[in-house]
Amino acid sequence: MPRIIVVGGGWSGCGAALAAVKAGAEVILLERTDMLLGTGLVGGIFRNNGRFTAAEEAIAMGGGELFQIMDAMSRHKDIEFPGHKHASLYDVINIEPEIRKFLKNMGIKILLQSRCVDVKKRDKRITSIILEDKTEITGDCFIDCTGTAAVPGNCIKYGHGCAMCILRCHTFKSRVSVVEKAGVKEWIGKRADGTPGAISGACKLMKHSLSPNIQKELNKKGVLVIPLPEGLVKQEKLKKKACVQYALKEFAENIILLDTGPAKLMAPFFPLEELRMIPGFEHARYEDPLAGGIGNSVRFMAMAPRDNTLKVQGIDNLFCAGEKAGPHVGHTEAIVTGLLAGHNAVRAALKMSLLEIPPTTAIGDFISFVNKEIQTEEGQRNRYTFSGGLYFERMEKKGLYSTDIKEIRTRIKNAGMIDIFSEKLVK
């Protein structure tokens, strides 16, 4: 039985581990902190716009369990807010234990507080991962899902200082890239002005720090749009966001709150003194990042060159997913790339041909289109998501965006991808 080592327990790592274990491999999932899901612990938005299509494609491909848990843990479904339709909001507080329990029940070995610090190689193959406590973990194939943030120096240099975000890299130390340790040169995304990286696009407020009326309306509706006084409108914030799908003028002109358990504030940061000038926010307090009045985490600082099977260039048994595979934004994007990376890692271990998802599907087109785009300097300045911006526009033009589940399943069937991620490869 091949052994697959997944480094990084965010949504992409969970997707990769799930696909690998379903293919019949022994799977070890390493996470440097004490919780899974990474930025999924503060996100919560899915099924909005083209993410609905991608989620249903993944379900038709046999890799839908994580989406089904998200659906079951949703506080609100089929809501709308500026630029977004039919969104679901999962509960960011309660979902992690459910995902962890599910993965363990699938037979995945989860090692928390297990920080990778180095790799051992032989020629163009990784042979083992070295943990901080000197433990050596061998494997047949490896998947880098370590993300592109979690280095305090980057936040200090390219942001507004460490904002003490959910990544908790002071407590659990900085992210270490498997790709980099394997000797592959990574690349850095840039903002429109050429500054490296991008700032995460939203904050969490303690819901009970808001007025009773705001709490009541948010719990009931799932979304609140509150116009800002003219003096507090700052359009320039939109250029700094990693989340291009929310870089709309409405997000600068209004306070937009989503109910994901806490109150999700759709802004990269908002000065606390100014926030408390708004009726109902007089006692507002940030939950994540703790210094959300000043800044947020900086991302897209370490991405891997890869092909459309998500194999990292230059290393025969290393795959990547999530933000490590490109400037992708969102949980859905992380999960679907994780599924492909996990499945292909098992194929590589068995010396089978690797799977490339056809571009007649939204997932396949997304993976191949992003890979083509990031070969150019302009493409490296863009962000890609099923839910907005450049790629969602492409989805609509190509007729790939749909909310018709039967139509989506027929598309996957025609592509020969039905239940592909449920196929047991290890006989």
pLDDT of residue 240: 52
Amino acid at 187: W
- pLDDT for 277-334, tens place per residue? 999 999 999 999 999 999 999 999 999 999 999 999 999 999 999 999 999 999 999 9
Query: Is pLDDT of 237 > 70?
Result: no
pLDDT of residue 244: 58
315: phi then psi, degrees, rounded to nearest 5: -125, 125
Query: Is pLDDT of 427 > 90?
Result: no
Cis peptide leading into residue 327 (ω within 30°):
no
Token duo for residue 342 = 């996990």
Separation of alpha carbons 112 and 125, rounded Å: 25
pLDDT of residue 295: 93
- Which stretch of 110-119, 148-157, 214-223 has the lowest confidence by average pLDDT? 148-157
Separation of alpha carbons 167 and 187, rounded Å: 21
The per-residue b/e assignment along 347-377, b for 16 or more CB within 10 angstroms, e otherwise, is bbbbeeebbebbbebbbbbbbbbbbebbeee
Q: Where are the domains of the chain?
A: 3-194+298-422, 198-288
Query: Is pLDDT of 131 > 80?
Result: yes
Q: Is 269 helix (H, G, I), strand (E, B) or coil?
A: coil
* 3-state secondary structure string across 11-44: HHHHHHHHHHHHCCCEEEEECCCCCCEHHHHCCC
Separation of alpha carbons 121 and 110, rounded Å: 23
Query: Is pLDDT of 192 > 90?
Result: no
Contact 280, 214 (CB under 8 A): yes
Query: Is pLDDT of 235 > 60?
Result: no
Query: Is pLDDT of 150 > 80?
Result: no
Handedness of CA 272, 278, 281, 282 (dihedral sign): positive
Whole-number mean pLDDT of the chain? Answer: 95
pLDDT of residue 282: 98
What is the homologous superfamily of the domain 3-194+298-422 according to CATH? FAD/NAD(P)-binding domain (3.50.50.60)
Contact 285, 209 (CB under 8 A): yes
Alpha carbon separation from 140 to 4, 25, 205 (Å, rounded): 6, 10, 43
- pLDDT for 357-402, tens place per residue? 999 999 999 999 999 999 998 899 899 999 999 999 999 999 999 9
